[in-house]
Chain A
Amino acid sequence: MPSIRSRVMVLSIAATLSAAVSGSAFAQKKYDTGASDTEIKIGNIMPYSGPASSYGLIGKTEAAYFKMVNDNGGVNGRKINFISYDDAYSPPKAVEQARKLVESDEALLIFNSLGTPSNTAFQKYMNAKKVPQLFVATGASKWNDPKHFPWTMGWQPSYAVEAQIYAKYLMKEKPNAKVAVIYQNDDFGKDYQKAFKEALGAKAATMLVAEESYEISEPTIDSHIVKIKSLNPDVVVHFVTPKFAAQGIKKIGELGWKPLQLVTNVSVSVGAVMQPAGFDNAQGVLSADYRKDGADSQWKDDPGMKKWSAFIDKYMPGADRTDNSLVFGYGAAQTMVKVLEMAGDNLTRENVMKQAMSLKDFAPDILLPGITISTSATDYAPIAQLRMMRFKGEKWELFGDVINADVAAPE
């Protein structure tokens, strides 16, 4: 009998002890809606259908990446539940989906939602609800605005950052050049154009000889190129989308004209821009990028790209490696996982946001050597560096150092 009683005693002591231990462990863990001991719910909105459906691949890559993370044990033992909805690139639909994610699915945050109009549509809602809208997939510069929208953060270098880098390069290398700019007459082209002009500052008056715009509905921009040539500039900057970059470079080649040319990193695709423009015409064209190209053989032995390649083989077999959405989605998802790891067991929305603004020199596998992600309470532009590159033969060659753009959030 006594032995049984003592055993009961021991058991009850053990129970009390374990309760105390788990109790104290419990006190350290903090959760908001969407996170628990076993799961973290991440929302996402992508244009799987509609005019921008080609970007849907980004969402699929991210889903595959999170699946890989879950297969390897998840983030600090918690599985990621990635809920991705289609908004067909329609802002009203994006608002509906964002509200569904926050109120119905109760996601911890919305990650890498795509498109400037869509993200603008629910930005105010997210900030009023104090739910993170992290690493939005758009190149507009307005996401770096911690003062007015502390719950919204971008990821990729903004168009403005890129334009600044081109301006800096030209002022350093060709301070006396006559520069002509051709830009698409929409938010994309104007964002570049405005930032470029601002970065040139006082030099704009002497350097800029032509600012020619075209409409996206025009079948060809040949006549604009001819008009620019009549002003005889030595530098032509193409703030244009891929189809028009190919046309412009080709036309300049056909005219037998040899100005220095710059294209945006939206239009650096070898297959979609350089080849149609003609490799002969494209020699010496400059651009800047922050990603490694999945189809470029120079990264064959790069440890980061080896990991990316293994991931594509296993989780996205048959995917087209020349599509840089695969690289983009991988990098964004990796950044997200990094932030969640840093948040540890304190998975409140506030802490996730705090960790997102505390990234220091984080280098996802797919960023070019030397380019890292850093954020702070006043810097909501995670990637603000690029490297210049020059088209040579049939591929891009990087040159020079990593260039930093000055990132200033609006007051």
Chain B
Amino acid sequence: MSTVQEVSSAPVVAAVPKKAMSLGPLASLVLLALLAITPFFVKNFIIFQMTMVLIYAIAVLALNILTGASGQFSLGQSAFYALGAYTSAILIEHVGMNYALTLPFAAIVCFIAGFLFGLPALRLSGIYLALATFALAVAMPQLLKLGVFEHWTGGVQGLVVTKPDAPEIFASMGLKVSQDMWLYFFTLVVAIIIYIVSVNLLKSRSGRAMMSIRDNEIAASAMGVDVALYKTLAFGVSAGITGIAGGLGAIAVQFVAPDGYTIQLAIALFLGMVVGGVGWLPGSLAGALFIVFVPNIAEHVSKGLSGAVFGVILIFIIFLLPNGARQLAFGAQSLFSKLRGS
């Protein structure tokens, strides 16, 4: 009994100073330039993969806000991702709404769902919370198959979503923009907006409140932080952002089905967060690159043992870089300043 208590009262996530949560201005600009220029030199298929990387990066970022900032674990992000994807898909296909307009709806629906789920989750912390969210992720695909919603969700057959064309303004300007290219830049803009909003959120009063809860719940409440409110808020915000990622994912993949949003996805997002560095928002991109490309590399090495190869790569990364991409970036930064100093 006492060991369990020790486990749950230990700080869940190592404290990350808030200055270290974002990227410096120079590095941000270089990264942005890279993301903006690369699509012009690669095939449509690679652009599609890059779009998926951005989408997963948004989802990993959402988990990072929840775990890195407020210290709550979640293995249930796939459920919110699915909810967002279905909200967008249903609004596009059944209501005929413009794809871009469906994203705020996906965000709102998921925010509400996340906030409500956050209420009972308040009573749980650490590994128990992880288990409760795990249950959500496991239940989601089956809920999506329920006969009651079948008219809207398409049941197990899923829903096929029409892929948007680039706006005609480009064509009238004489530019040929493919569907993939357009969707990539659309996703990039959404991702940048979400990133900026998230960084500002964490630097704000609310962000400080969340981080104080993460570092010491009792001290935080003694300082007058409404622990319950901020914990559920963190859940809501995280779920809302995940919902946007899900909506974008549905548009990019052109298809939603329960089998696309299993516990595998939740675990992939969790992996992405750990590999990118818990609590370090730019790491989300590195984490997303990992979850999109490393399984392909593993499959390339050995088809029959792809899972084992993936596992070995993962163990190596955790051993060499326990803090993920954050460690790598900080190492590079200190090396860089040393070189400049000498």
Interface residues of A (CB under 8 A from B): 48-51, 84-86, 88-92, 95-96, 99-100, 102-104, 116-118, 120-125, 142, 185-187, 217
Contacts and interface: CB of A to CB of B under 8 A. Distances in A.
B158 A117 contact: yes
A378 B58 CA distance: 45
A88 B264 contact: yes
Given A103-B43, A117-B156, A120-B158, A96 B48 contact: yes
Interface of B: 43-46, 48-49, 52, 142, 145, 147, 155-158, 160, 249, 253-255, 257-260, 262, 264-265, 299, 303-304, 306-307
B299 A187 contact: no
Contact of A125 (B43, B155, B254): B254
Contacts of A122: 255
A389 to B, nearest CB: 29
Contacts of B253: 91-92, 95, 121
B156 A186 contact: yes
A95 B142 CA distance: 22
29 contacts: A48-B306, A50-B264, A86-B299, A86-B303, A88-B264, A90-B259, A90-B260, A90-B265, A92-B249, A92-B255, A92-B260, A96-B49, A103-B43, A103-B44, A103-B45, A104-B45, A116-B156, A116-B157, A117-B156, A117-B257, A117-B258, A120-B157, A121-B253, A125-B254, A142-B157, A185-B147, A186-B145, A187-B155, A217-B142
Contact of A95 (B155, B157, B255, B264): B255
A90 B262 contact: yes
A91 B307 contact: no
Nearest to A213: B147
Contact of A124 (B43, B160, B257): B160
B299 A99 contact: no
Contacts of A142: 157
Contacts of A91: 158, 253, 255, 257, 259-260
Contacts of A103: 43-45
Contacts of B155: 187
Contacts of B46: 104
Contacts of A85: 299
Nearest to B147: A185
A124 B260 contact: no
B167 to A, nearest CB: 20
B303 A48 contact: yes
Nearest to B43: A103
